[in-house]
Structure 1
């Protein structure tokens, strides 16, 4: 019974839509009025810049004796580049990705989010978020175009400094 009803609905729907969406012949074409502009222009982080930032972040931490991984994501949290020191632990790649994703999503330092965790504990429940220091947004003309996450140093604040210094170096060129 249900299958027959669904089949009848499926067969009659195109005819019903055609009848309800066909404008009267005398009306002629109507101009489309858009409430907003049809396109948005946004700055983007290039792949070349992302690769350089990831490599510099790993090198910055290596100079301090720490084996880390660094992930750079675009403004939507999609991975652009990953660099990992040869002796970095297996957990560092995932930690760096999640810190970068968290920072890009929140448009904020993950260390600042850690400070807000007491008043907003649900931050830690957002899928994909890792609310630990080490995620830094990449800003161009005050717009977030991506983020960097570093994982593997003994302190998230060290991870954060390695990332921030890499961003500064690349964006100052």
Structure 2
């Protein structure tokens, strides 16, 4: 009888803990794939051969796509843009502008070999929380990469709310 009472007490504590765990939005594979496909499609329609990476909030690749004619550097470039953006929760264009104005600390540049400070990386947010990031690389200018990335995010905005 004592064992049964102990089991009930343990289960009760377990249930109460489970009920208090925080619930955070998560970037699903399906949504990440839509973001990547729509970014790639937009750049392709604009005549750019790009690669795109979508990472979860921990910096793990969920989706990596590359146009068959994109340069070999684009997959790594898009990964680094997404990694920088998810790590800092900031668009990489913010850093690109600071570098142009010579306003950025060199310490940030040396934090990670995966940081890159060129436009084309954007955080993906849900409920004001960064749940991942997209990086696009291969268009002639970073602002064009960023445009495609933003269109990818915008295409799933309802899924992120």
Distance in 1 separating the partners of 2:77 and 2:107: 19
Counterpart selection for 2:47 from 58, 61, 65: 65
Structure 1 residues 130, 119: closer, same or farther in 2, change over 3 A? closer
After superposition, where does 1:58-137 map in structure 2 within 5 Å? 58-117=40-99, 118-127=103-112, 128-137=114-123
Distance in 1 separating the partners of 2:73 and 2:41: 18
CA contact (8 A) 1:123 1:131 kept: no
Aligned to 1:6: none
CA contact (8 A) 2:95 2:104 kept: no
Distance in 2 separating the partners of 1:150 and 1:97: 8
Aligned to 1:162: 148
Structure 1 spans left out of the alignment, 5+ residues: 1-37
The yes-or-no answer on 1:48 pairing with 2:30 is yes
C-alpha deviations, 1:119-148, integer Å up to 9, x for none?
Answer: 322222121101110000001111110000
TM-score by length of structure 2 reads 0.80
Structure 2 spans left out of the alignment, 5+ residues: 1-19
Higher-RCO chain (CA-CA 8 Å, sequence separation at least 6): 2
Higher helix share: 2
Q: Quick check: which has more Rg, 1 or 2?
A: 1
TM-score by length of structure 1 reads 0.75
Equivalent residue pairs, number: 137
Distance in 2 separating the partners of 1:166 and 1:51: 10
